Amino acid sequence: MISKIAPLAAKGTAMGVYSSVQFLGAFFGATVGGALMQFVGGNAVFIFAILLLLLWLIVVSGMQPLAVVRTKMYHLGEMSNGEGAKLQQQLAQVPGVKEAMVVAAEGMACIKWTCRDLMRLRSNVW
């Protein structure tokens, strides 16, 4: 989910932060659960978990569903930075393209497609 939300240029950073927060959650969850068990008792751990669950349900109830997107990487030939910038602008104008990134120095293009628009485009082409 994070890789679909994050901008193409920041995808690696977003995935790294998400992974780090997951591990911090496991660490603090075990620490808080152990402290509650030791100082308050087993029922406190259960009640605390239920409170966190209810809080999460409140947060989730306001969320909107994400658009279904697909990301595809294409290998390109050699090109200058100017050609890469021009290609990126052209790709961004294609119907169904949510985001495009061209890295001329590496000869690659990465395109994030909105699946609904891509299916509509395919049905018009064929």
DSSP 15-75: HHHHHHHHHHHHHHHHHHHHHHHHHT-HHHHHHHHHHHHHHHHHHHHTPPPPPPEEEEEEE
pLDDT, tens only, 47-81:
999 999 999 999 999 998 887 888 889 999 899 99
pLDDT of residue 81: 93
Q: Could you give the CA distance from residue 17 to residue 37 in angstroms, rounded to a whole number?
A: 30
Give the pLDDT confidence of 73-123 residue by residue, as tens digits.
Answer: 999 989 999 999 999 999 999 888 989 999 999 999 999 988 766 555 555
Q: How many CA atoms lie within 13 A of 104 on its CB side?
A: 10
Strand, helix or coil at 82?
Answer: helix
- Residue 33, pLDDT > 90, answer yes
pLDDT of residue 122: 56
DSSP state of 96: T
Distance, in Å, from the CA atom of 27 to the CA atom of 35, rounded to the nearest integer, reads 12
- Beta bridge mates, 74: 109
pTM of this prediction? 0.66
